[in-house]
Amino acid sequence: MTQARRIVGQPRRRVDGRAKVTGQTRFADDIMLPRMLHCRLLRSTVPHARIIRIDTSKAAAVDGVHLVLTGEMFPIPYGILPVSHDEHALCRDKVRFVGDPVAAVVARDEVTAEQAVNLIEVEYEALRTYATPAESLAYPEPRIHDYGDHGNVHKAVALQFGDVDAAIDGADHVFDDVFFFEGSTHLPLEQHASVALKDPDGKLVLYSSTQTPHYLHRALAKALAMPAAHIRVIATPNGGGFGGKSDPFNHEVVVAKAALILDRPVKICLNREEVFYCHRGRHPVLMRFRTGVTNDGKITGLDLQTLLDGGAYGSYGVASTFYTGALQTVTYDIPRYRFRGCRVFTNKPPCGPKRGHGTPQSRFGQEVQLDKIAERLNMDPAALRLGIVAPPDTLTANYLRIGTIGLADCIRKVVDRSGWNEKFRKLPLGRGLGLACSAYLSGAGMPINWNDLPHSGVQLKLDRSGGVTAFCGATEIGQGSDDVLVAMVAEVLGIEPFDVRAVTGDTDLTPVDLGSYSSRVTLMMGNAAIQAAERARDILAAAVSAKMDIPVGRLVFADSRVFDSQNPASGVTFQEAVCIAEARVGTIGTTGSYTPPKSAALFKGGGVGPSPTYSYTAAVVEVEVDPENGWVTVPRVWIAHDIGCALNPTLVRGQVEGSVYMGLGEALMEEQAFRRLPAKLSNALVHKFPSMLEYKSPTSLDMPEIFTDLIEHPDPNGPFGAKEVGQGPLLPIMPAVANAVYDAVGVRVDQVPITPEKILRALQAKADGKPARSGPASFPDIAWPETLHVRPPWEGGDGRASNEPERGTRRKADAGVEATAGVRS
Amino acid sequence: MKSRFTCTVNNEAADLLADGYKTLLEVLREDLQLTGTKHGCELGECGACAVLVDGQPVLSCLLLAAECDGRHIITVEGLTNDGRLHPLQECFADLGAAQCGYCTPGILITAKALLDAEPNPSRERICEALSGNLCRCTGYLQIVEAVEAAARVGTPAVTPEPRR
C-alpha cells in the first residue's frame, strides 16, 4: 500500500491560511459574549515588600463594579513545574516584583474596572530589593521565596561525566572564557487575553491565549480546588507565543474564579506594559567555558558554569537551568564534561522559556569560544567544527541519544553558498563573516509531570460524507500545527487537506497533547496522527477488500479514492469506502498516540535534554560595522537546517526566516533590562522600557537577505522523517553575528546584545593596547552542591550517578491526574 | 458622553452612538463586531490596528471614533470583493506571509494602500511602507514577497479563490 506522497513535501497554503488573511481567526480577545464583564488587575508598584494592608472598599463602591478580588481568595499555589508551585493568582503576603498582581476588579467595562483598580489602597513594607544575581548571592536574607536551595538561590546543580579536570589539564590548549547573554522577551503581537464563563451546566470554561491548555487545565484544577473534569480549557489560536504563553498565568486563574462567583462571562486582555511583566522570557545568563583542546582542534573536555537571573518566580527555571548545560554534547564530540548551573531569584518579572529555552545563552558562549579556538590554532572555524561534529547513532557523555545528524552537511552548505573560503578574514575593514552552529530538541523526551502517559493523542472521526475530523490537544500558535495535523491525516488516507477538519486545543473535545513548547508538536502529534490515520486506513482497506475482492495489499489510497493498484479503474471513492466500512464494522473512529523513547539518562537532572531526535543548524552571517560609530548592519545570512523532511516547505522556510529575524533582534538590540527609579521617587527597580516603541525589535527595513537551505535526511523517529524547525535555527544567529563582528573590526563582543556602544568600547580598548574585547570580566565563586558523578558510556557508565541514592519512586509519583501538590526543591 | 455620528465602513453606512473617548479601534471591534482589526499596543507602536480612512492607512488606536464622522473606512473584512479574496490575501495565504496571523490584517491594509498608490512598488518601497507594522513571526521576507506577488497579479476581479 505504499504510494507516492501527494501532500508531504509540497509547498502548500496552510489549512488556516484563509482564516488568517480574512481576519476570521478568532483570538481570545475577539470573543465577545452577552453579559460579559471586564477585569483589570492592580499590580505592585514596589519590587519587594510585605503587604501590610489592602483596602478595597472604595473600589467596591464604584458604580458598575461587580467584584473585587484579593489574594485571600486564592490560598492554593500553582506553577508550571511540580517542583516550583510558588505562584498565587493574586499576591497574599508579599510582592516580588513591580508588576506582581495584587488585586483585581471585575466591572461592566474596562474603563470602570481601571478606575476602581486605581482606588485600591495597598500599604507595603519595603524589603531589600535584589536587582542582580550578584546581590542575590551576596545576601541570603530576606529570602524572596521560602523555598529553594538556600538563601535566594532557587536551584544549583552540578553534574560531571568523566574526569574532566584531567581531560582539560592534559590538553594541548586550555581556553577559559566568560560570556554574558542579556535577557530578552517574546514580544508576541497579541497581548495575553482570556475569557472565562460558567457553561449552562454550571461547569467552568476558559478561553485563553495559551500555548499549553493541558497544563493550564491542571493548574486551574489545583488553584481553584475543582475536579479537572468540570473545567474546560480552550486554547484560542495564539497571536504569537515563542514560549511566552506557556505558563499558567495569574489573570487566567483570576477570571476563572470571577466567572464562577458571578456566573457571568469575564474577560481580561492585558495591556502591552503588563505583557512585559508577565515575561517568562530569556534568562540573563553569565557563563564560563573552560575547554581543553588538542593541537588539531579536538575537544578533550568541557567545564561549563552558568548563572541564571531567574526573576521573581520559579516558572520553568529548574528546566531552564539544566538546559543551559544540556545540548553542548549533542552538537560536538565532547568526551568528558562537567556542568554546573545556578538559578537565583531577583525582584524582576520571572524568566522562563523563550524560543530555544535555556540553550541559546550557552550556545552563544560555546560558538564564540570555538571561533577563538580556531583562530588560536590557526584553523578555519568551519574546518574545526567539521572535525568535532558529534557522531550519529551514539550516546553522548551525558547520555543523550543522537540518531541522525546532518550538521556536517549544514556546515558544508553554508560554507559553499556564502563563499566563505573567499571571504572569511579576507574582507576589508568593516566587513566580516561569522559562522556558528547549533542543535535543538524535536520535543522534550520527558513530560513536565512525570508519568507513563502518551505525550500526544489524536482521534479521528470518519463521516459518511467522506469528511474526516481530526481531534488533538495541540495548540496553534502560528507555527502551523493544525496544518501538520491535517496534512498527516490527508496524506495517509489519500484525501485532500480541505476534506479534513482540525479540532484542536480543547480539553473537553480533544485528547491530550502536552502543548506547543520544546518543538514537540510536529514530531509527537504528527506520529500520533499517522498512527490514527493508518488505523482508519486499515479498517477501510479491510472492508473494501472484502466487498470488492481485492487483496488488501493491492489497495491504494489516493486522489480521494481507494483502488486496485493493478487495475486503478477498479475501486471506490473515499466516501464510498467509509460507507462500506461503516456498514461492516459500525461507526468509525480511531485513535493514535505517541510516547517518546525511554531515555538512557537515569541520573537526577537527566530528564532535561533527551529528545526523540535533534535538529541541527549552521549559519553564516555577514555584517558591516562602521568603526566610527559601531553601527552594525546585516546584509546577508546563509542558513542550512537539518529538518529530516520538510512537511510543508513554505511553512518551514517561514520558521527558519522567523528564527533568523528573532535571532538578529537578540543579537543586536533586544533587552529586557531594568533600572532603579531615582531615590527621591522610590528607588524601585522597574522595567527600563515596557513599551514596543522603546523595546527595539527589527523592522522590515532591518532584515537581511536570507538564503535558506534544508538538509533532508529523513529521521526514523520523525513523522515522514521530519524534525523540528521552530527553534533550532534561531540559535546560531547571535554567535554568528559576534564572530562576524570580530572578522569585520577585530574586536570581541562577548555579550549580547551587540550594541554600538559595546563595539566602540572594545575598539577603544584595542586602541589603548588593552584586550580588544567587551564582555564580563569574571564568573563569581558559587557554593556548588555535591557533584553527581556519571561515567560516560565509553568509560563503562550505565547512565546512573555513582554517588546518588537509589531513585525510581519519582517516575511513578504522578499518575497524571492531579498535579503534584506543594513545593519541593 | 456619547456622540452620534455616521460613517461608511466597508462600503456600508454605519450609524453610530459611542462614548466620546472611544477610539475607532474600539468602535470597530466592540460596537460593530469587526474583530478582524487587531491591537498590539493601543499606543500607535505596532501597526496591528491599521485601517484605511479615506484610502489612507491610519492607526485606528490613535483616532477617536467621533473624528470619523462622514469618512470612508475599510477594514480587513472589506478587502474581499464579491466573495473573492483580494490578491494580497490570496498571496499572503499561499506564500506563508501569515503565520500567527495577528499582524496580518494591519499589514494587508497597509500593503493595499501602497498598491493602490503604487501598483508596482520596488522591494525597497514595500519594506519602507511596511516598516511601521511589526511582525514577530515571519522575519518579513515572505510578507514582502507576497506583496510583490500580489502586485504582479493586479486587479482583484480576475482572481478566483482556489479550492484548497
Q: From CA A521, how far away is CA A480, in angstroms rounded? A: 10
Among partner residues A18, A237, A700, which is closest to B93 by beta-carbon distance?
A18
Handedness of CA A321, A326, A327, A333 (dihedral sign): positive
Please state, in angstroms and rounded to a whole number, the distance separating the CA atoms of residues A688 and A734: 22
Tell me how close the Cα of B33 comes to any Cα of chain A, in angstroms.
8
The three grid cell numbers given for residue A575, joined into one nine-digit string: 466516501
Q: Given A477, A651, A659, which is nearest B96 (Cβ)?
A: A651
CA–CA distance, A658 with A286 (Å, rounded to integer): 26
Q: How far is CA A598 from CA A56, A133, A249, A442, in A?
A: 53, 36, 31, 15
| CA atoms of A693 and B40, how far apart (whole Å) | 11
A532 touches A591 (CB < 8 A): yes
Contact A27 B102 (CB under 8 A): yes
Contacts of A254 (CB under 8 A, 6+ apart): A39, A41, A69, A74, A89, A90, A101, A104, A268
Q: Say if the ipTM goes beyond 0.90.
A: yes
B114-150: pLDDT as tens digits = 999 999 999 999 999 999 999 999 999 999 999 999 9
Contact B130 A700 (CB under 8 A): yes
User: Does B87 touch chain A if contact means CB atoms closer than 8 Å?
Assistant: no
Coil, helix or strand at residue B126: helix
Sorted by sequence, the CB contacts under 8 Å of residue A684 that are 6+ apart come out as A45, A46, A47, A98, A129, A676, A677
Q: Does any CB of chain A come closer than 8 Å to the CB of residue B9?
A: no
Half-sphere CA count of A567, side-chain side, radius 13 A:
7
Is the CB of B85 less than 8 angstroms away from the CB of A706?
Answer: no
Please state whether beta strands A285-293 and A266-269 pair in parallel, antiparallel, or not at all (unpaired): unpaired
- pLDDT given for residue A2 in this prediction: 53
- Among A17, A22, A658, the residue with its CB nearest the CB of B139 is A658
Among A100, A189, A89, CA closest to A144: A100
CA of B16 vs chain A CAs: smallest distance (Å): 19
Rounded distance, CA A330 to CA A332, Å? 6
Among A605, A632, A782, A639, CA closest to A696? A632
pLDDT in tens, A492-502: 999 999 999 99
Q: Would you say residue B18 has pLDDT above 70?
A: yes
Closest by Cβ to A693, choosing from B29, B45, B108: B45
- pTM here? 0.96
Report the pLDDT value the prediction gives residue A201, as an integer from 0 to 100: 97
Q: What pLDDT was estimated at residue A623?
A: 98
First to last CA, chain A: 52
Q: How far apart are CA B163 and CA A737, in angstroms?
A: 43
Distance from CA of B78 to the nearest CA of A (A): 9
**Cα A167 from chain centre:** 33
- pLDDT band at B50, cuts 50/70/90? very high
Instruction: Check residue A272 and report its DSSP letter.
Output: H
Instruction: Count CA atoms within 13 Å of residue A67 on its CB side.
Output: 23
Output the CA torsion sign for A781, A782, A788, A793: negative
Residues 6+ apart with CB under 8 A from A332: A299, A366, A385, A388, A389, A390
CB B53 within 8 A of CB B116: no
Distance CA A98, CA A277 (A): 8
- The candidate with the shortest Cα–Cα distance to A578, out of A551, A591, A560, is A560
- Per-residue pLDDT band at B157 (split at 50, 70, 90): very low
- Nearest Cα of chain B lies from the Cα of A19 at a distance, in angstroms, of 9
Helix (H, G, I), strand (E, B) or coil at B163: coil
**How far A735 CA lies from chain B's nearest CA (Å)?**
19
Q: How far apart are CA A32 and CA A687, in angstroms?
A: 32
In sequence order, the β-bridge partners of residue B16 are B5
Residues of chain A with pLDDT under 50: 1, 809-825
Contacts with B81 from chain A: Cβ below 8 Å: none
Q: Which chain B residue's Cα is nearest to A495? A: B164
Tell me the CA distances in angstroms from A522 to A131, A202, A494, A742, A790, one per residue in order.
39, 36, 20, 37, 32
Answer whether A700 sits within 8 Å of B143, measured CB to CB: yes
Chain B residues whose beta carbon lies within 8 Å of the beta carbon of residue A498: 163-164
Q: Are B98 and B75 in contact (CB under 8 A)?
A: no
- Whether residue B162 is predicted with pLDDT greater than 70 in this model: the reply is no
Contact of A590 with A535, CB cutoff 8 Å: yes
Question: Chain B residue closest to A659 (CA)?
Answer: B139
Q: Nearest by CB to B98, which of A20, A186, A692?
A: A20
Residues of B in contact with A15 (CB under 8 A): 164
A347-389: pLDDT as tens digits: 999 999 999 999 999 999 999 999 999 999 999 999 999 999 9
The C-alpha atoms of residue B48 and residue B35 are separated, in whole angstroms, by 12
Report DSSP state, residue A146.
S
The pLDDT assigned to B8 comes to 97
Q: What is the pLDDT of residue B1?
A: 81
